[in-house]
């Protein structure tokens, strides 16, 4: 019996990554391609990069694409860390046309939701019980919320107000680098952020994702929060894998 394959593209504020995905195992099938996000990251420029990545793999099947935005019925309603021209754009139609696909072959969804879908599908069975929150720490902070394994789409908990600031402007992984914060300094900010989230929804588990999850041993032990925190198993590939899963099952919020 052959391997079931899909294709996912994960659009971020700094890079756009794509790869073929082994949907049976929940991992990349071969190398991924990463191209820097165009600056400015306007819809047409980003769509060109997505098409370039798909063409490099000569991929002809359905494609899942993530956006750092609230996405409903294929339309981008917000724009976090991408150009504001994305607001109101029918992203599904844009990518369908640029990728030369038939209607329904391109699924567009929020980037953190995609990463969460991958973690819930391929992660530990414990990840599917109760209220589980995936937080992606990267250019910004993305969130995905699940109740007994079922996604509550388009949460934007990275934008909670902490000490008068948008949380991701204080505690995103990019802020650690930009402000040259130590792990202890940055983790203190992350703790304050997670405590605020705990006060809102009392999660049973928090999964820490994004690129910084590769260094989980340096900061997860420093957190001062009530909730059990575990690193994402798929690390920074979760968005690509989740996008491919969404395309396979035809999810379009």
Give the pLDDT confidence score for residue 232 in this predicted structure.
92
Tell me the average pLDDT across 37-59: 97
- 71 vs 31, 44, 107, 136, 239, CA distance in Å? 28, 17, 10, 17, 15
Question: Packing angle between helix 111-122 and helix 238-249, nearest 10 degrees?
Answer: 90
Q: CA-to-CA distance for 248 and 253, rounded, in angstroms?
A: 14
User: Of 3.30.420.40, 3.40.50.300, 3.60.20.10, 3.90.1150.10, which CATH number belongs to 5-113+237-249?
Assistant: 3.30.420.40
Could you report the per-residue pLDDT of 220-246, keeping only the tens digit for each? 999 999 999 999 998 889 999 999 999
Q: CA-to-CA distance for 122 and 156, rounded, in angstroms?
A: 23
Could you report the per-residue pLDDT of 53-105, keeping only the tens digit for each? 999 999 999 999 999 999 999 999 999 889 999 999 999 999 999 999 999 99
With 80 as the cut, is the pLDDT of residue 1 above it?
A: no
Spell out the CATH class of 124-232: alpha beta
Q: CA-to-CA distance for 105 and 53, rounded, in angstroms?
A: 16
With 90 as the cut, is the pLDDT of residue 129 above it?
A: yes
Domains of the chain, residue spans: 5-113+237-249, 124-232
Within 10 A of 128 (CB to CB), how many other CB atoms are there? 17
Give the pLDDT confidence score for residue 235 in this predicted structure.
83
Mean of per-residue pLDDT scores for the chain = 95
pLDDT band at residue 252 using 50, 70 and 90 as cut-offs: low
Same fold, 5-113+237-249 and 124-232: yes
Give the pLDDT confidence score for residue 101 in this predicted structure.
95
Give the pLDDT confidence score for residue 66 in this predicted structure.
97
Give the pLDDT confidence score for residue 3 in this predicted structure.
86
């Amino acid at each position: 019996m052959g391997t079931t394959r899909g294709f996912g593209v994960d659009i971020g504020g700094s890079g756009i990554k794509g790869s073929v995905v082994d949907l049976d195992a929940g991992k990349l099938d071969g190398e991924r391609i990463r191209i820097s996000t165009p600056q400015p990251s306007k819809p047409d420029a980003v769509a060109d990069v997505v098409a370039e990545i798909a063409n490099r793999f000569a991929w002809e099947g359905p494609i899942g694409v993530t956006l750092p935005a609230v996405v409903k019925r294929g339309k981008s309603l917000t724009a976090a860390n991408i150009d504001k021209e994305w607001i109101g754009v029918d992203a599904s139609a844009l990518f369908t046309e640029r990728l030369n696909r038939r209607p329904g072959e391109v699924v567009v969804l929020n980037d953190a939701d995609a990463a969460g879908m991958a973690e819930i599908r391929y992660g530990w069975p414990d990840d599917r019980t109760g209220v589980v929150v995936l937080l992606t720490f990267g250019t910004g902070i993305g969130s995905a919320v699940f109740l007994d394994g079922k996604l509550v789409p388009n949460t934007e908990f990275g934008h909670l107000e902490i000490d008068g600031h948008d949380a991701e402007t204080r505690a995103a992984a990019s802020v650690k680098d930009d402000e040259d914060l130590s792990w202890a300094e940055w983790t203190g900010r992350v703790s304050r952020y997670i405590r605020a989230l705990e006060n809102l929804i009392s999660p049973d588990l928090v999964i820490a994702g994004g690129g910084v999850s590769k260094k989980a041993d340096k900061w997860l032990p420093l957190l001062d929060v009530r909730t059990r925190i575990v690193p994402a198993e798929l690390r920074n590939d979760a968005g690509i894998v989740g996008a491919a899963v969404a395309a396979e099952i035809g999810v379009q919020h």
